[in-house]
Amino acid sequence: MASRAPTMVALLLAAVAATCARAQLHDKFYSESCPSVEEVVRKEMVRALSLAPSLAGPLLRMHFHDCFVRGCDGSVLLDSANKTAEKDAQPNQTLRGFGFVERVKAAVEKACPDTVSCADILALIARDAVWLSKGPFWTVPLGRRDGSVSISNETDALPPPTSNFTVLTQLFAAVNLDTKDLVVLSAGHTIGTSHCFSFSDRLYNFTGMENPSDIDPSLEPQYMMRLKSKCASLNDNTTLVEMDPGSFKTFDTDYFKLVSKRRGLFHSDGALLTDPFTRAYVQRHATGAFKDEFFADFAASMIKMGNANPLTGSQGEIRKKCSVVNH
């Protein structure tokens, strides 16, 4: 199945190998202890996405939200009796797929008990979510351990959809991601949906006036009217909107076409047009003529993000269930 991987992806793996080595992550980590782990994860992913292809976006998003808080340690998966874990925080209340991750973990535990971390499983799930949505394939460096701490207040480290370019670059830099990683990983919005409340201020409350004429002038007018027809008010907390209308189940370069036309759904999407470098990247890939180049860039940035402050060696633990620490 990996034969679909673009050649450029394989070339870029070498560029990030040194960084991963410093963190003790490598793609052969389970070659002896659990050689079937990727096969087990992929079998579950194929089954799930064949029934619910729209789950790919949320699963990719979950890996992002894990890595930006405390590094890629599976802390986003932990439950809390008093509702103070990361998953209880406002930015994570729209995450979905937790039950599916537990199902994958159970399948991996059956094949290789007490061996593979939830953090690694989440990284593999995210890769397969992209690949099975017709996106790039990459080899995932493995060897992460699971953390035991999950604090809702620490989700301030997550880039909000309302962010301007300055805030975005600061939050990405905090996990060792640069401006190129920012524009590349933003294109993860090519798959999935969003609730209206994540962007409805652009439609009704851009300057705080809370009326139908208080709109974001940077949003393309026809697209704005289309969004208003779906999101009737600031109080719409249930409606879902495709982030990449027409191909939200397919990982492609259409996201850049939308952003270049001022049809990016979030403030953070539109912010990519306010910086010369990211604007040039958006415009180049909006042509659709450099898909392999973008796929290679996305794979490299995902590997780099997946190397954000992991627990390795004797740090952390290997959880038996992803939602609770071991006792």
CA nearest 305: which of 129, 176, 146, 118?
176
Which residues, in sequence order, are CB contacts of 208 under 8 Å at separation 6+? 214
Both tokens of 258, joined, read: 């939308």
Give the residue ranges of the annotated binding site.
66, 69, 71, 73, 75, 86, 159, 189-190, 244, 252
Q: CA dist 28 to 10, 25, 122, 137, 202, Å?
A: 15, 9, 17, 16, 46
Handedness of CA 18, 19, 23, 28 (dihedral sign): negative
Q: CA dist 287 to 1, 170, 250, 260, 263, Å?
A: 28, 29, 17, 10, 15
Q: Check if 65 is active-site.
A: yes
Q: Residue 146 phi/psi, 5° resolution?
A: -90, 135
> Is 153 exposed, middle or buried, given 0-12, 13-18 or 19+ CB atoms closer than 10 A?
exposed
Q: Residue 240 phi/psi, 5° resolution?
A: -105, 140
> Is 208 exposed, middle or buried, given 0-12, 13-18 or 19+ CB atoms closer than 10 A?
exposed
Give the residue ranges of the annotated binding site for Ca(2+).
66, 69, 71, 73, 75, 86, 190, 244, 252
Query: Which stretch of DSSP H or E encloses residue 105?
Result: helix 98-111
Catalytic one among 63, 65, 267, 285? 65
Q: Say whether 90 sits in a helix, a strand or coil.
A: helix
Give the residue ranges of the annotated binding site for heme b.
189
Residues labelled catalytic? 65
